[in-house]
A and B are shown apart, each in its own frame.
Chain A
Amino acid sequence: MAVVRVGIPSTLLYYLYFPMWETFFQNLGAEVVTSGKTNKKALDYGVKEALADACVPIKLYFGHVLNLTEKGVDYLFVPRVVCLNHETTYCPKFLGLPDMIRYVLKDIPPLIDVRMDVREGTGALFRAYYETGKTLGARWQTVICAYGRAIYAWRRFFSLLQAGWQPPEAMEILRNKTRPRFPRKNTDLTFAILGYPYIIYDQFISVGLLNKLYKMGIKPVTAENLPWRALVKQRDVLDKRLFWTFSDLAYKATQLVLKRGGVDGIIHLTAFGCGPDAMLDKYMEMLVRERSSIPFMSLTIDEHSGEAGMTTRLEAFADMVRRKKGAVSCA
């Protein structure tokens, strides 16, 4: 039997779970194909096919699916990830993602759209993976083994993130099986970059935000770099918990950053038209203003984000923070 090729679009949850999925499928004997880095073509196609009112990340997902379709994969892995922590669900657009792909795009390979919802009971997540394995025709022993290895791979990946790496770098390290030291870069400021992983770590759509910060001598800290246990244990200060996993995390990260200190500025990176962010941004702004005097900026990106505009805003923000810091130390 020829090797089954499974395509995984490199956006949205890719940035947090790809090593897990890759290991899982490889252990099932499948070949994993990714759509690679986001490029102009993926974006243009997404803008054309997806609904105009959808947010950029969703449009990009359409573009990545096209890329995989062109590469000729046998299956597309588009899981319906509902809830992974018993508490919060993902954005409604994630919940309806397989349906949107299926009913909008034509001539796409069959989807593997297992539903992942840990609230269904013990072992629900394993059952979802088991179902995936069965779709590919693997034996149950193989699936169990692959699942175990996948979990292990994800743990290793996550410990790299906790050590301060960014997901793309961490994936590279895992792939090369090396364990390099974390590089010491010459930085004088630390900014917390909060927002959703699929915007922050996507070099194309965030217009290289993280690298730009390094160049300016600023060390970015993201929610994935913060100590995880402390992060998820943050008390809910809102009257009602935010319903969406990433938004809830971003809010808790704001709380933690304010509590721990050590950051000179907070940047909230958001996508134009992002539903949950409309509320989250306001809440974050209120929280930062209430609890501290750390400067806060929200940066909105969309399909037309220009390099120059982004740089100007970042430079202005960094200058402002530097001046403020200088003023405080002089006084």
Chain B
Amino acid sequence: MPKVTFPHVGEAHRALKMLMTDLGNEVIMPPRPSKRTLDLGVKHAPEFACFPVKILLGTYLETCPQGVELIITSGGVGPCRAGHYAQLHKKILRSLGYPVDIIVFEPPRLYPLDLLHNVRRVNPGRLSYRSIYECVRRAWRKLQALDNLEKLSHRVRPRELNRGAATRAYRKGVEWIDRAYTLKEIIDAEAAALEAMEKVPQDPQREILKVGIVGEIYVLLEPASNLEMEETLGNLGVEVERSMFLTGWTRDNTWAETVENMTVRDAALPYLPELLGGHGRDSIGNTILYAKRGFDGVIQLAPFTCIPEIVARTILPRVAKDYNIPVLTFFLDEQTGKAGMATRLEAFVDLLRYRKRQQKSPKLVVNI
């Protein structure tokens, strides 16, 4: 059985592992990115490559000594650099003496034959296309279940009575979903996990702020790369809505654009009519949509030197002014510290809270 591995993106590795094992591969699980992962990545990646490159390379370097033969990752068609990362990683890994191959899943809309070819390569069990479809369906359902649970945890965490209860329920739920195998089990596990999450004791009276998170996909999806920002915000009493989930992104890039994606694009059109690659335009579009939906603020996350997000960030102050919504940007890299980030987040949340109270009853706040 060929040994395969893939990047660590949030909890998605659980679904991918199931899929790859079903197809007859031996999966070497990517570890959660840690200090060691980063050190390895920083050591071998180009200095100005963006943060995801370093984390991914570090992850590969942690799994490669265990005899990985195949790395499975996603591609891109530019002009964002992410489309070239698989090729860069392959070159670097080969130069370090690891005989790995990388399978890159490009958008099937543009490269349909490529997709079939890739599927054949990750299918050493020689399953029929029909059974592959079944496997993919189950993995997809699992991904959805994981995403749904995460979404709910974002809503419950700021309202929880006992600090940490939602996170504990989330961890437990993820494990349940992870253990489920058949479609029915996955659906049951999801229902049970969601119910357990709802049962976390909550305070309905609490004043909750709503903050949207926009930015580059990897730093949004991988909590280890954004230093568990969502959890930090949740503990500060902020309900987070993230603009991107793996299921949504995959849908947008597989067959046709979804309606949500088109809405985002249309919203961004007056400010940025050109597709820059990456998620620069989505950041602007989502900020506008969040403002229209009455959110209290928006946080943009981007890796250091990310080109599309730099363009977006240059335009965002104007969007923030036009739509009257505060926007805070974090450029993340290997130097970002959790304490520094927490301080900035606290200040931002204080500002949002003050602003909200002032909007509700201006006089009261002025007297304080």
Query: Are the chains A and B members of one assembly?
Result: yes
Number of A-B contacts (CB under 8 A): 112
B311 touches A96 (CB 8 A): yes
Find residues 270-298 in chain B having any chain A CB closer than 8 Å to their own CB: 271-278, 280
A278 touches B81 (CB 8 A): yes
Contacts of A91 in B (CB 8 A): 79, 307
- Contact partner of A100 among B49, B92, B306, B311, CB < 8 A? B311
A275 touches B307 (CB 8 A): yes
B272 touches A96 (CB 8 A): yes
A92 touches B271 (CB 8 A): no
Find residues 76-106 in chain B having any chain A CB closer than 8 Å to their own CB: 77-81, 83-84, 87-88, 90-92, 95
B80 touches A92 (CB 8 A): yes
Measured in the bound complex, the distance between the Cα atoms of B87 and A311 in whole Å is 35
A50 touches B314 (CB 8 A): yes
CB of B141 to closest CB in A, whole Å: 32
Contacts of A276 in B (CB 8 A): 81, 307
B79 touches A95 (CB 8 A): yes
Interface centre among A53, A90, A274 (most CB of B within 10 A): A53
Interface string of A72-99 (1 = CB under 8 A from B): 0000000010100000011111011001
- Contact partner of B305 among A53, A82, A100, CB < 8 A? A53
- Contact partner of A282 among B88, B271, B306, B311, CB < 8 A? B88
Check: B47 CB closer than 8 A to any chain A CB. Answer: yes
CB of B24 to closest CB in A, whole Å: 26
A273 touches B79 (CB 8 A): no
Measured in the bound complex, the distance between the Cα atoms of B313 and A50 in whole Å is 10
A95 touches B276 (CB 8 A): yes
A273 touches B84 (CB 8 A): no
- Contact partner of B87 among A80, A96, A115, A238, CB < 8 A? A238
A278 touches B48 (CB 8 A): yes
Check: B110 CB closer than 8 A to any chain A CB. Answer: no
A51 touches B314 (CB 8 A): yes
Interface string of B9-34 (1 = CB under 8 A from A): 00000000000000000000000000
B88 touches A279 (CB 8 A): yes
CB of A199 to closest CB in B, whole Å: 15
Check: B356 CB closer than 8 A to any chain A CB. Answer: no
Check: B308 CB closer than 8 A to any chain A CB. Answer: yes
Check: A230 CB closer than 8 A to any chain B CB. Answer: no
Interface size on B, residues (CB 8 A): 40
Interface string of B299-322 (1 = CB under 8 A from A): 000001111101101110110000
Check: A172 CB closer than 8 A to any chain B CB. Answer: no
- Contact partner of A243 among B83, B88, B280, B315, CB < 8 A? B83
CB of B113 to closest CB in A, whole Å: 16
B307 touches A239 (CB 8 A): no
Given contacts A92-B308, A103-B271, A238-B87, contact A275 B313 (CB under 8 A): no
- Contact partner of B306 among A275, A281, A286, CB < 8 A? A275
Contacts of A279 in B (CB 8 A): 46, 49, 81, 84, 88
Given contacts A51-B314, A100-B314, contact A286 B79 (CB under 8 A): no
A283 touches B91 (CB 8 A): yes
Contacts of B81 in A (CB 8 A): 275-276, 278-279
Contacts of A272 in B (CB 8 A): 48
Check: B176 CB closer than 8 A to any chain A CB. Answer: no
Check: A181 CB closer than 8 A to any chain B CB. Answer: no
Measured in the bound complex, the distance between the Cα atoms of B273 and A82 in whole Å is 12
User: Which residue of chain A lies nearest to B84 when distances are taken between CB atoms in the complex?
Assistant: A279
Check: B245 CB closer than 8 A to any chain A CB. Answer: no
Interface string of A110-123 (1 = CB under 8 A from B): 00000100000000
A54 touches B48 (CB 8 A): no
9 A-B interface contacts by CB (under 8 A): A51-B310, A95-B275, A95-B311, A115-B274, A272-B48, A273-B305, A276-B81, A277-B48, A278-B48
The 5 closest A-B pairs by CB, nearest first: A243-B78, A96-B311, A278-B48, A275-B307, A103-B318
Enumerate chain B interface residues (CB-CB to A < 8 A). 46-50, 77-81, 83-84, 87-88, 90-92, 95, 271-278, 280, 304-308, 310-311, 313-315, 317-318, 331
Enumerate chain A interface residues (CB-CB to B < 8 A). 50-51, 53-54, 80, 82, 89-93, 95-96, 99-100, 103-104, 115, 238-240, 242-244, 272-279, 281-283, 286
- List 6 extra interface pairs beyond A104-B315, A278-B305, CB under 8 A: A92-B79, A92-B278, A92-B311, A93-B307, A243-B84, A279-B84
